[in-house]
Every structure is written in structure tokens, then in C-alpha cells.
Amino acid sequence: MNALFVELPEFSRHREEFLADDEFRALQCLMLKLPEAGVVIEGTGGLRKLRYVDPQRSRGKRSGLRVIYYWCDAERQFWLFRLYGKQDVNDSNSAIRKMFAKLLAQALAAPGGAPAAITRRVPKVPTHYRAPKHSVKARAE
């Protein structure tokens, strides 16, 4: 499957801090295979939260990274909103959910549908690709 990954500035700001290029590529491949792997965050209009390993800090999915994204199936796009370590942010309160809902609503209302951000086109995942063991069973929180 081909898809476009759209990085919002907040995501881009933290990506290199948490994921090297090859680790980010592994995350993208996982998302391509399982676009709805993250659970929908209630009250956000469809944003999803995916638990992912934190390779730089040697943490598993449970205590690792969180990826907040929106899967736009009709456009074949992943809108990457936020990347953070579980220990860094408590995202369970309603103020954070409202902020995410507002960001998504603004992105959906933007001309052309996609938010103004850095975009990276990702080629089709090769059929022989094997995700690293730590990312195969992507369980959402």
C-alpha cells in the first residue's frame, strides 16, 4: 500500500529526539500494515493513540512511546500529530483531548484537507519486509 505521512510541526519537533530514521521507517511500515492499530481517543473526532517501543531508552511498548495520529483512509494519509514518551505527558485529561480535537478539526477544515506540514511520501512496503520483533505485535493502549 502507498500512503502519505504528514508530519505536523509538533510531531517533527520530537521525532529525531525519539526515533532515528531507520526506527521511524519501522514505525511507518508497521502503520502501513496496521493503519488502525491505535485505539481511537474518545472525544477527539477520530485521532488514534498507538503504543510503540522506545528504542533509544530501551523501553517496551507499555512504558515506551505514544504516537498520536489520524488515519485518513479515503486519502491514504497518516497525519502524525504528536510523539512523546509515556512518562513525559499525562494525556488522559479532557483538556488534552479537547486540544487534540481542535487540532484535528482545523486540519480537516484546511484547504485540500491535509494540514500544512512537512510531508514525506513513503513507498509501498515490500512483501518480504519483516518488522523488528519489538514492533510486530502493535497493541494500542
Number of domains in the chain: 1
State if pTM tops 0.75.
no
The answer to whether residue 141 is domain-embedded is no
> Which DSSP symbol is given to 56?
G
User: Which three cell numbers mark 133?
Assistant: 520483533
Range of the domain at 69: 3-136
CATH number at residue 91: 3.30.2310.20
The answer to whether residue 48 is domain-embedded is yes
- Cα separation, 95 vs 134, in Å, equals 32
CA-nearest of 10, 27, 18 to 132 is 27
pLDDT per residue as tens digits for the range 38-74: 899 888 889 999 988 765 655 555 557 889 999 988 8
The answer to whether residue 75 is domain-embedded is yes
DSSP-based three-state secondary structure for 107: helix
The answer to whether residue 123 is domain-embedded is yes
Amino acid, res. 116: A
Amino acid, res. 38: G
CA-nearest of 5, 39, 35 to 19 is 5
Q: Is the pLDDT assigned to residue 133 strictly greater than 70? A: no
Q: What are phi and psi of 75, to 5 degrees?
A: -95, -5
